[in-house]
């Protein structure tokens, strides 16, 4: 295994999660969560769970992102605080 690559991807996963929590614009938060999901899929594929990685990429980054952007288009884009 390439442990340093897995460690770097895990670090990027933590950074993406923190950015998604700290950003004020909801569309940017959804984009960051999609990046988080894609990084998780890459990490899972490196660990050998290719079927789980494919599901994570399709559902986490794809379908969930589209549904959240659709829901945000109905409500206000910025957070009130």
Domain range list for the chain: 3-74
Say what the pTM is. 0.83
Burial class (CB in 10 A: 0-12, 13-18, 19+), 73: exposed
Listing DSSP states for 5-22 in one string gives HHHHHHHHHHHHHHHHHH
Nearest 10 degrees: Cα torsion 5, 6, 8, 14: 160
Q: Please tell me the predicted confidence (pLDDT) of residue 24.
A: 86
What confidence score (pLDDT) does residue 72 get?
85
Q: How confident is the model at residue 8 (pLDDT cuts 50, 70, 90)?
A: very high
pLDDT-based confidence at 1, cuts 50/70/90?
A: low
Q: What is the pLDDT of residue 79?
A: 64
| pLDDT (tens digit per residue) in 13-72 | 999 999 999 998 888 989 999 999 999 999 999 999 999 999 998 988 889 888 888 888
């Amino acid at each position: 295994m390439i442990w340093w690559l897995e460690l770097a991807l895990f670090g990027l996963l933590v950074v993406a999660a923190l950015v998604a929590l700290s950003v004020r614009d909801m569309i940017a938060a959804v984009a960051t969560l999609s990046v988080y999901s894609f990084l998780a899929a890459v990490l899972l594929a490196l660990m050998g769970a290719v079927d789980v990685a494919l599901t994570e990429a399709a559902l986490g980054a794809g379908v969930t992102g589209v549904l959240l952007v659709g829901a945000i288009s109905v409500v206000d884009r910025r957070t009130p605080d």
